[in-house]
Amino acid sequence: MLNFTSVALGRSEVDFLAVPVCEDAEIHADKELAALVAEARGLEEFKAEAKQQLMLYNLLDGRVLRCLFLGLGPRKKINAETLRAFAGRAVKVAMTAKREAMTIAAPLAQALDLPPERLLQAVAEGACLGNHTFTRYKEKPKHAPLQSISMLVPATMAKQFAVLPGRVEAICRAVCQAREWVSTPGNDKLPEQLGRAFSTAASRAGLQVRTLDQTQLKRHKFGAMLAVAAGSAHPPCLVEISYTPAKAADAQTIVLVGKGVTFDTGGIDIKPATGMEAMKGDMAGAAAVVGAMLAVAKLKPKQRVIGITPIVENMPSGTATRPGDIVTSYAGKTVEIGNTDAEGRLILIDAMAYAIKKHKPDVLVDLATLTGACVVGLGEKIAGVFSRDDALRQAIAAAGEAVHERCWPMPLPDDYKELLKSDIADISNMSSSRYGGAITAALFLSEFTNETRWAHIDIAGPAHAKKASDYCGPGGTGFGVRLLCELLTRRQP
């Protein structure tokens, strides 16, 4: 539970207090807090350099039992992300110390060049996201999450931003749910199992859910998606989650589509053994979309929002699709399977064509761990965003910047389309060039979006992290949930 508190320090007892300290400026106005900081600064070993920490005990006449001072570095370098990292680290220290509750002193907005709402949101997010560990497979988890986190803010702020803790908590819960889905091994999220997990979570959140099973997918001719599922012993499904706003009549419709490959072996074009286990995370796009829908149920944006997740397992077997096979996609275009490992684009085109036909969306956004090439180009922390709609692409990049889920603009050059030509089918799922793989994958998708305003976000890099960072453990990162929430609650792109 996350909340604001404005109690005067030293009045009542605080078990664990975390205080951010700036290297070259005072960022707390409260008298008691300032006194605590002065005490820390009095010690030679604490310079408040970035990431430096100091623990002191029994301060303010014993009313503050444990006080953790964390350095933020120089004022000029402090931004929202520095504060998320601070709060995440503070929570980790408290968890390691086996605390049940903690208080985090929020810095003064005027002292940093940040709007107060952004500042509070960043601290709250870092704390909430840092307070999560994936323990499903541990008999004896090392750390338990804190039961309660209070942010110490002036009473006027607590009043002005009273809805903030609830909103941030809703978003962060959704992020952590997405993380857990991504980190769950492939044997515990077979397509229908994952589909059920999605639909259960969405129904519980009060959203409308519809699931298409294999029979229905066959009846509606999801030919490209079924071609990917053909090698697996486990049938595919497609989950469709809807949120309807209160004033639905003239609301815009935004459809989110997420790639849901529960495990990507590559199929007959099988991947090398090294690192293949990470392909359990090939449904991170779907996890982000469903996570965003769970948050949307609480954030209640003005638009109608629909989340669609095609879910399959990509396996080699006697029933698997062969390289060279030609399949008819939902849209009616035929696709030559140049490579069975380029499966993400196959399930996405069917889901997107279905979304366009059924919902006629004003905006369509897909998220997918689509290409290794995108990771080569942008590294493991930045997603690529592709769109012919400048405003939409910029809105996504700006939303990503605000929540530090960075999306870098990538091109969709028309003349590269010839790389996807097939001699006998309408298009090939494989580029004839070994270069520019993230771009050709996006161009392939673009052939199925017609006139719809559409953006594609390749999250192959940031969906998953080998190592823990300040407010995220190792494994699924939940990348995309906060980005989508920010995009949906900002002014219309």
Residue whose beta carbon is closest to Mn ion? 341
Supply 306's token pair. 């629909």
Q: Near Zn ion by CB under 5 A, which window of 50-58, 281-289, 354-362, 437-445?
A: 281-289
Q: Does 264 bind Zn ion (CB under 5 A)?
A: yes
Which CB atom, from 150 or from 371, has the smaller least distance to Zn ion? Answer: 371
Compare residues 341 and 366 and give the one whose CB is closer to Mn ion: 341
Decide if residue 186 touches Zn ion (CB under 5 A).
Answer: no
- Selected from 107, 285, 310, 344, the binder of ligand BES by CB under 6 A is 344
Contact call for residue 373 and ligand BES (CB under 6 A): yes
Q: Select 241 or 342, whichever has its Cβ closest to ligand BES.
A: 342
With b for 16 or more beta-carbon neighbours within 10 A and e for fewer, the 381-410 pattern comes to ebbbbbbeeeebbebbbebbebbbbbbeeb
**Residue given tokens 């500042």 in the structure block:** 119
Residues 315-354 contacting Zn ion, CB under 5 A: 344
User: What is the C-alpha to C-alpha distance for residues 345 and 456, in angstroms, rounded to an integer?
Assistant: 11
What does the per-residue mask of binding to ligand BES show for 273-292, with x meaning CB under 6 A?
Answer: ---------x----------
Closest CA to 445 of 372, 350, 358, 332: 350
Q: Tell me the number of residues near Zn ion by CB under 5 A.
A: 4
* The one among 32, 125, 240, 282 contacting Zn ion by CB under 5 A: 282
Of residues 85 and 460, the one with the C-beta less far from ligand BES = 460
Sequence-separated (6 or more) residues with CB below 8 Å from residue 200:
none
Helix axes 481-489, 164-183, angle to 10 degrees: 140
Nearer to Zn ion, 262 or 477 (CB): 262
Residue 433's CB: how many other CB atoms inside 10 A?
A: 13
Report if residue 264 touches ligand BES, rule: CB under 6 A. Answer: yes
Binding window for ligand BES (CB under 6 A); candidates: 116-124, 367-375, 412-420, 447-455: 367-375
Stretch that binds ligand BES, among 47-55, 96-104, 224-232, 337-345 (CB under 6 A): 337-345
Q: Which of 280, 345, 406, 482 is catalytic?
A: 345
Question: CA 294 to CA 73: how far, in whole Å?
Answer: 36
Distance of CA 8 to the CA centre of its chain: 36
Scanning 175-183, 295-303, 304-312, 371-379 for contacts with ligand BES by CB under 6 A, the matching segment is 371-379
Alpha carbons 457 and 400: distance in angstroms, whole number:
11
The correct pick among 265, 371, 446, 477 for binding ligand BES (CB under 6 A) is: 371
The answer to the question of residue 460 lying near ligand BES (CB under 6 A) is yes
Q: How far is the CB of 81 from ligand BES (least distance, A)?
A: 24
Minimum CB separation of residue 276 from ligand BES in Å reads 10
Q: Which does 371 bind (CB under 5 to 8 A by kind): ligand BES, Zn ion, Mn ion, none?
A: ligand BES
Select 130 or 344, whichever has its Cβ closest to Mn ion: 344
Pick what 87 binds: Zn ion, Mn ion, ligand BES, none; C-beta below 5 to 8 Å, kind-dependent: none
Does residue 271 have an active-site annotation?
yes
Residues 409-438: x where in contact with ligand BES by CB under 6 A, - otherwise, as a string: ---------------------x------x-
Of the two residues 121 and 340, which places its CB atom closer to Mn ion in the complex? Answer: 340
Give me the residue whose beta carbon is nearest to ligand BES. Answer: 372
Catalytic residue among 271, 298, 333, 381: 271
| Contact window for ligand BES (CB under 6 A) among 159-167, 238-246, 335-343, 355-363 | 335-343
Sheet containing 326-328: which strands, arranged edge to edge?
326-328, 334-336, 427-428
Sites of contact with Mn ion (CB under 5 A): 264, 341, 343
Nearer CB in complex with Mn ion: 73/285 = 285
Positions that interact with ligand BES (CB under 6 A): 264, 282, 339, 341-344, 369-373, 375, 430, 437, 460
Give me the active site residues, please. Answer: 271, 345
Positions that interact with Zn ion (CB under 5 A): 261, 264, 282, 344
